[in-house]
Amino acid sequence: MLKEFYADLHIHIGRTEKGRAVKITGSKNMTLKNILETATSRKGLDLVGIIDCHSPEVIEELEQLIGEGKAKELSKGGVRYDKTTLIPGAEIEIYDENCHGPIHILAYFPSIEKMRAFSMWMSTLQKNIHLSSQRIYCDGRTLQRKVYELGGLFIPAHVFTPFKSLYGKGVKKSLNEVFDANLIDAIELGLSSDTYMVERMSELAPYTFVTNSDAHSLGKLAREYQKIRLADASFEELKKALHQKDGRSIVTNYGLNPLLGKYHESVCADCGERITEEGHTRCPFCGKNHLIKGVSKRIAELSSAPLAEVERPPYIHQVPLDFIPGIGPKTISKLLDNFGTEMNILHEASINELAAVIPEKLANMIHLARTGKLGITVGGGGVYGKIDVDGT
Ligand SMILES: [Zn+2]
Ligand SMILES: [Zn+2]
């Protein structure tokens, strides 16, 4: 019997319990325990990928949770904590001689033992194994083979962001410049793109798309996520879904409207003006040459093929609860008291049930937000777009 599960597979750890920094820009309360607790009791996520589990202190903490009986390893892979399954992983930066810029990738493993083996291997190729998203001194294909050897999953991260991504600067035209196309399990879209924008990129046709939060703070968990059809929340089932085996698959991707992403449009890094016309190498407003190429422009450069005949799950442009104007912490906690988790608020509660708890106007706003119908102002150059209250 297959059921539906909610998954966010790209979550960072800010600090270990002992206070050691992992993701330096991550918030201090972003510890393993706090993430698991938030995912299970507040967000209602069934599956979380924590991609800083290569850090030796994090591995110790995981083992401690298991030792105390608060978590247990699953026979089909993953670690169960309360109602949520953790998939341990790592985010890694590749910048080998075939790359034109740094590329972030995500690797996930079925067990703590495999995670530790990977961490040990990586520690001989990195300067600091305790930190997140560190550069590894080997080439992309070597890394892929190691992940494959350990029974892991390999997913290029936020592939269109202008910095540190596969298509941002990493390759000129094709992932084959750096990676073995057969050893990629899925593609992570990232905050400034969606399924529809990339449908003319023929080399992506074989891959499943994932949409994740890349959360650096607890509130941002499930900023983007997906609904997946699985028999149970485990590593093996997730792997099947990414390869669309035995009826397992991603049912819906939920993400920000790409127009809200902070790199959607090209912007001048010096004066901040938006550059919408084609063909500029310098800013037409201030004359400097620090243009940050927007994701939409980069995708247009890479898209030549006619529409690929790929059936993809719908991508819902959903606005996160705390982005909605008028929905403050008080309203959210009232909603949580009544509906349990954010997933219940977004997916289970009817508009009437919402309106029984909060003012009707706000209930309507939530309904517009979860169906992708709130108006927005476009983002670019590192500034997020904004929700436009009466622009619906
Ligand atoms: Zn990254
Ligand atoms: Zn990340």
How much is the pLDDT for 354?
Answer: 97
Could you tell me if 87 and 195 lie in one domain? yes
In the reported structure, the alpha carbon of residue 243 is separated from the centroid of ligand 1 by a whole-number distance in angstroms of 23
How much is the pLDDT for 391?
Answer: 37
Last residue of a domain, one of 210, 226, 259: 259
Q: Model's pTM, two decimal places?
A: 0.93
Within a domain: 79: yes
In the reported structure, the alpha carbon of residue 154 is separated from the centroid of ligand 1 by a whole-number distance in angstroms of 14
Ligand sitting nearest the alpha carbon of 50: 2
Within a domain: 363: yes
How much is the pLDDT for 199?
Answer: 87
Within a domain: 286: no
Ligand sitting nearest the alpha carbon of 51: 2
Which pLDDT tens digit goes with each residue over 293-351? 888 888 888 887 777 678 899 999 888 888 888 899 999 999 999 999 999 999 999 99
In the reported structure, the alpha carbon of residue 29 is separated from the centroid of ligand 1 by a whole-number distance in angstroms of 20
Could you tell me if 229 and 103 lie in one domain? yes
The CA distance from 213 to 225, in Å, is 7
Last residue of a domain, one of 259, 294, 309: 259
If DSSP codes are grouped into helix, strand and coil, which group holds residue 246? coil
Could you tell me if 355 and 206 lie in one domain? no
Could you tell me if 51 and 158 lie in one domain? yes
How much is the pLDDT for 256?
Answer: 83
Closest to 180 measured CA to CA, from 105, 87, 125: 105
The CA distance from 221 to 327, in Å, is 17
In the reported structure, the alpha carbon of residue 12 is separated from the centroid of ligand 2 by a whole-number distance in angstroms of 6
Burial of 387 (0-12, 13-18, 19+ CB in 10 A): buried
In the reported structure, the alpha carbon of residue 359 is separated from the centroid of ligand 2 by a whole-number distance in angstroms of 36
Within a domain: 268: no
Across 321-357, b (16+ Cβ under 10 Å) vs e yields bebbeebeeebbeebbeebebbbebbbebeeeebbeb
Last residue of a domain, one of 207, 234, 259: 259
Could you tell me if 242 and 106 lie in one domain? yes
Ligand sitting nearest the alpha carbon of 93: 1
Could you tell me if 196 and 85 lie in one domain? yes
Within a domain: 243: yes
Could you tell me if 16 and 136 lie in one domain? yes
User: How far from the centroid of its chain's Cα atoms is residue 43's Cα?
Assistant: 15
Within a domain: 35: yes
CATH code, domain with 356: 1.10.150.20
**If the chain, 392 residues long, is cut into consecutive pieces of 10 residues, what is the mean pLDDT of each piece?**
97 97 95 98 97 98 98 98 98 97 98 98 97 97 98 97 93 97 96 87 94 95 96 98 98 87 82 79 86 86 77 89 88 96 95 96 91 73 69 36
Could you tell me if 221 and 348 lie in one domain? no
CATH code, domain with 33: 3.20.20.140
| Structural domain that includes position 326 | 320-371
In the reported structure, the alpha carbon of residue 334 is separated from the centroid of ligand 1 by a whole-number distance in angstroms of 34
Contact 54, 122 (CB under 8 A): yes
Could you tell me if 217 and 331 lie in one domain? no
Sign of CA dihedral 300, 303, 309, 314: negative
How many domains is the chain partitioned into structurally?
2
Could you tell me if 44 and 132 lie in one domain? yes
In the reported structure, the alpha carbon of residue 183 is separated from the centroid of ligand 2 by a whole-number distance in angstroms of 20
Query: Tokens 């609904």 sit at which residue?
Result: 227
Within a domain: 364: yes
What's 307's DSSP letter? Answer: P
Ligand sitting nearest the alpha carbon of 10: 2
Helix (H) or strand (E) holding 5: strand 3-11
Could you tell me if 330 and 210 lie in one domain? no
Within a domain: 377: no
Number of DSSP helices (H) and strands (E) in the chain, helices first: 10, 17
In the reported structure, the alpha carbon of residue 361 is separated from the centroid of ligand 2 by a whole-number distance in angstroms of 35
Helix (H) or strand (E) holding 92: strand 84-94
The CA distance from 74 to 76, in Å, is 5
Query: Tokens 């706000």 sit at which residue?
Result: 362
In the reported structure, the alpha carbon of residue 87 is separated from the centroid of ligand 1 by a whole-number distance in angstroms of 17
